[in-house]
Amino acid sequence: MESTKICVIGLGYVGLPLARLFSTKYETIGFDMNQARVDALMAGHDATLEVSDDLLQSALASGFTCTTNIEKIRNCNFYIVAVPTPVDENNNPDLTPLYGASSTVGKVISKGDIVVYESTVYPGVTEDECIPVVEKVSGLKFNEDFFAGYSPERINPGDKLHTVEKIKKVTSGSTPEIGKKINEVYASVITAGTHLAPSIKVAEAAKVIENSQRDINIAFVNELSKIFNKLGIDTQDVLEAASTKWNFLPFKPGLVGGHCIGVDPYYLAQCAQRHGYNPEIILAGRRMNDGMGEYVATQTVKAMLKKGIQVLGSHILILGFTFKENCPDVRNTKVIDIYRSLKEYNVEITVYDPWANPTIAKHEYGIDITNELPSDTYDAAILAVAHDRFSEINIDTLLKSTHVIFDVKGFVNRLLIDGRL
């Protein structure tokens, strides 16, 4: 294994922590098309905050390097692809980043090299979509001249407890021998251990069902929340009582966004449809979860009307914009659904999030957000994301004497709120 030279293609939330980890044991280079991203990393700072400045700077001092220059990765022999796999506006899988990364690999791969894909896909994408691109560009033959594997990423953005080396890794290879070799490389740095799957397709399927299962479970409690709201029962109370049984699954209602849980079920669904099966539960769960932003907005407006607050022209504060708490990631955030639904009532909205980058929010969603706690007073506030910093805010000081508070996350003192999921 001493001769293994690793290149990680895609230095985002997944690729960078993995590349940094591999650099502790192997000669490792990170490749990304974004020059500004590479420059920032080489200066010792990760804007995603997944890798601390100390760890990154230590890795750089020990020889880890990042580049946009394809020539600098030509001498590697173990390529890892960790690029995003989004969906388009119609929720169809968009494999464009994977095709681009596969083309990059094809330009530099040599005989005997291995390429491992980490991006979440539906079963068959690695061998049927990606590898043919590598073959075409390189002129090499799969499983004769070069080999492949799949090892799905399981990183949880913002989670400082379950970091990459502490999450068990599923691995696979295009031949039994290559599977063992790939497994050995990962096992050498993953302290939580590895699980060698019997085939690439099995490893692909394992990843895509992890997030689909979570999505369906959250959809179930979101539906319960709607039912119990009509019955005048607090959902959190019900879940707390039910959780006293040892085998009850403790999922909570909420918005389901981000680059994994809100996306991966669509990959599985399209794969099923291609093979003649129309999935029902998977897509029903997606519809439920995709409608929760609008539901929160509607419930907030209803609460305002019940208190005699004029909705037209009112001022509403949304606390939080990232897709989850305590991280700067705004990819596929469902808070935007709350914002857009409220905008239909012609209200004025301020979005306060100390974690999110206002420039990225403006570029991705066309809205203005602020990192500074507003000094104005509002007719209503929606706690959309449970950032730890929000616990320090006295929310009453931000609101007019007659106001509404809607708590999406069960975060605010229940005596202060007018509604929650």
Rounded CA gap, 111 and 133, in Å? 16
User: What does the block give as tokens for 257?
Assistant: 């966004």
Positive or negative CA dihedral for 333, 338, 344, 350?
negative
User: What does the block give as tokens for 372?
Assistant: 């500074």
- DSSP letter (8 states) at residue 166: G
- Catalytic pick among 7, 66, 260, 327: 260
- DSSP letter (8 states) at residue 130: I
Residue 398, SS3?
helix
Q: How many angstroms from the chain centroid is the CA of residue 77?
A: 29
User: What does the block give as tokens for 404?
Assistant: 């509404």
User: What does the block give as tokens for 220?
Assistant: 């179930």
Give yes or no for a contact between 92 and 266, defined as CB atoms under 8 angstroms apart.
yes
Rounded CA gap, 154 and 169, in Å? 8
Long-range contacts, 21-24 (Cβ 8 Å, 24+): 21/164, 21/165, 21/189, 22/189, 23/59, 23/62, 23/63, 23/64, 24/59, 24/62, 24/189
Going through 176-243 in order, the beta strands assigned E by DSSP cover 194-196
Helix axis angle for 292-306 and 335-343, nearest 10°, is 50
Question: Burial code of 338-357, b = ≥16 C-beta within 10 A, e = fewer?
Answer: bbebbeebebebbbbbbbbb
- Cα 230-232-233 angle, rounded to 5 deg: 110
Rounded CA gap, 260 and 240, in Å? 27
> Dihedral (C-alpha) 402, 407, 408, 409: value to the nearest 10 degrees?
160
Residue 388, SS3?
helix
Which residue bears the tokens 């040599």?
A: 110
Run of H or E including 263 = none
Q: Is 260 a catalytic residue?
A: yes
Categorise residue 244: left if φ over 0, alpha if ψ from -120 to 50, beta otherwise. Answer: alpha
Catalytic residue positions, numbered = 260
